[in-house]
Amino acid sequence: MSKILILNGSPRKKGNTFFLIQELAKTIIQNGHDVEILHLNDYDIKPCQGCFWCYKEFPLKCVQNDVMNGLYPSVLDSDVIVFASPIYWFNYSAQLKLFVDRLVALHVQGGHSLNGYKFASIFVYGDTNAQGSGVHTAIESIDHMIRYFRGENLGVVHGTGGDDLTVPDNPEIMKDLKELAEKICSI
């Protein structure tokens, strides 16, 4: 049985991103895996200060005394980490960015604690096409991080979920989500 950590970068708990997270979690749980969802908007995560205190003896925590130090165990205990976010202003949300930046504290001598981990992403945008939405910037950013971690990218699900088309009505994104769930469940 694997543990899947889903990082919800959306401030909305009834929006398109949350709907996709719930659908993914339901399938994963039905297949006997554990799922933990962190609603990042619920946490007061301070921005990284770039002080690199975490590189001193590699304590696997941040010098900032905030909630993030309590979230690191969930990250490290996961087999798969899923980044989920709406696309706001041509990239993933500030909530997800704060979390991602603070992963710097998980460096270890000679690498990073997340080296070799498995990752996936879910992005929803209001634009009618991927080119205009900025989703490719988000995908590229996460992909660079996964390569840095020498990790495995299990896949990216993205699609429109704007005012005129919600994700349940978008057959392509629902098909892609089902395929991602199957891939995650097969690990």
- Total-model pTM: 0.96
Cα distance between residue 176 and residue 108, in whole Å:
35
List beta partners, residue 158: 123
Q: How many CA atoms lie within 13 A of 32 on its CB side?
A: 3
Q: For 28-61, what is each residue's pLDDT tens digit?
A: 999 999 999 999 999 999 999 999 999 988 999 9
Q: For 133-176, what is each residue's pLDDT tens digit?
A: 899 999 999 999 999 999 999 999 999 876 665 788 889 999 99
* Residue 133 CB contacts under 8 Å (≥ 6 apart), including other chains: 87, 90, 125, 126, 127, 160
- Residue 187, CA distances (Å) to 1, 67, 119, 143, 157 in order: 9, 30, 12, 20, 18
Domains and CATH numbers, the chain: 3-185 (3.40.50.360)
Cα three-residue angle 156-159-164, rounded to 5 degrees? 165
Token pair for residue 155?
Answer: 């896949």
